[in-house]
Structure formats: C-alpha cells, structure tokens
Structure 1
Amino acid sequence: MQTTSIIRERGQLTIPDAIRKMVGWVNPMSAVSISVLKPDEIVIRPHVQTVDWNKVWGAIRKSRAITGKGEVGASKFMELDRSSH
C-alpha cells in the first residue's frame, strides 16, 4: 500500500489511518527505528530493544551481594519487606 502524507514544520509525519490499521505495531507512543537507505528512501520499522542479559544478571548478582548493617542481605531484606505488606 502506498499513500501520501505531509511532513509538518517541526518534522512531524502523520501515518495515515489506512496504514496504521494494516500493521499492528503502529500505536501512539510506539518506539520506531528510522533508517535512510537511499537519499530518496526512508524506512520506518518497529524498534526492537535488545537486552544485555550479562549486564542484567551482573547487576542482580551485585545487588544480592550487598550487605547492610542488618543481619540479612539485600535480597532477603526485599523478600521480607514485600511479604510484610
């Protein structure tokens, strides 16, 4: 499908209803990736966020290793705190 749209003063582009209805990922506040493939071609795709699981698990291990002035570690403290209310 191809339609025509106008780019406004501040660079805003409205994606026509017909196209938004054809693809399920175009919603208000959707994150998109915009690429220029050729000087006359711009491609808009859904943004796919990659997760650095090594970094995530490293941060979890680091937080579990924290000990405070109390008798339990941070993860045990969180568990006790959450179960108390």
Structure 2
Amino acid sequence: MKKSKAVTHTISIIRDRGQLTIPDSIRVLRDWASTNSAVVISSERPDEIIIRPHKKDYDWDKMWELIKRSRAIKGKGHGSAAEFLEKDRQSH
C-alpha cells in the first residue's frame, strides 16, 4: 500500500479526560492509526500536538537465531517436545 502524503484537515473536539477521536477521514489515510495501536504524542511548539506511530525496534536476526537455538536443544527423553507437553499436562 502506497503511503499518502496528502494533508487532510478536520475539526475534532477534545472531550472529558482529554479524549480525542481521530476522524475516519484521517485514520483511513494512515494504516498505523488503528484501534488499540500505540502512538507517541509530543508537543514541540505551543500551538501543536504531534501524534506518531510507536515503533519498537526489533533485531529480527537475533530473534530468529534464538528461535533456531531453542529448537535445536535436544532433550534427554524420547519423543518430541509436543509429546512431552501432552504427557505432562495429562499427568496433572
């Protein structure tokens, strides 16, 4: 999906407890502005509030390496980890 650089203006009301609804006309332009998405809110000038998507930095190479290592661990018993878990859960 191509990111839109279009500037859209609309008026919203800040309600009780500081709640602000971002209108659909704005949210449809930004795929990151969806329900329950984390955002960073900042104010760099007295006349503006900036809302940006929160981005977590993941080292995907490191994560995949850790996954590969965990999958390579050989247990002392016979059978797969899934079989072990099934037997363990049934024993409780």
Give TM class, smaller chain.
Answer: 0.5 to 0.7
Residues 83 and 14 from structure 1, CA distance in 2 versus in 1: closer, same or farther, beyond 3 angstroms?
same
2:22 counterpart of 1:24: no
Q: What percent of counterpart residues are identical?
A: 52
Which 4+ stretches in 1 moved above 6 angstroms?
82-85
Q: In 1, distance between residues paired with 2:40 and 2:84? A: 38
Task: State the SS of the aligned residue for 2:41.
Answer: strand
Alpha-carbon displacement from aligned partner over 1:12-42 (angstroms, at most 9, x marks no partner): 1000111112x23211111111111112111
Task: State the SS of the aligned residue for 1:4.
Answer: coil
Q: In 2, distance between residues paired with 1:35 and 1:46? A: 11
The match for 2:57 is 50
Alpha-carbon displacement from aligned partner over 1:19-69 (angstroms, at most 9, x marks no partner): 112x2321111111111111211111111112367x969x87xx8xxxxxx
Residues 83 and 12 from structure 1, CA distance in 2 versus in 1: closer, same or farther, beyond 3 angstroms?
same
| Unpaired stretches in structure 1, ≥5 consecutive residues | 64-69, 71-76
Q: Which has the higher strand share?
A: 1
Task: State the SS of the aligned residue for 1:44.
Answer: strand
Q: In 2, distance between residues paired with 1:15 and 1:82? A: 49
How well do the aligned residues superpose, as a CA RMSD in angstroms? 2.8
From 6, 30, 38, give the equivalent of 2:13.
Answer: 6
| Unpaired stretches in structure 2, ≥5 consecutive residues | 1-7, 71-76, 88-92
The total of aligned residue pairs comes to: 75
Q: 1 or 2 for the larger relative contact order (CA 8 Å, sep ≥6)?
A: 2
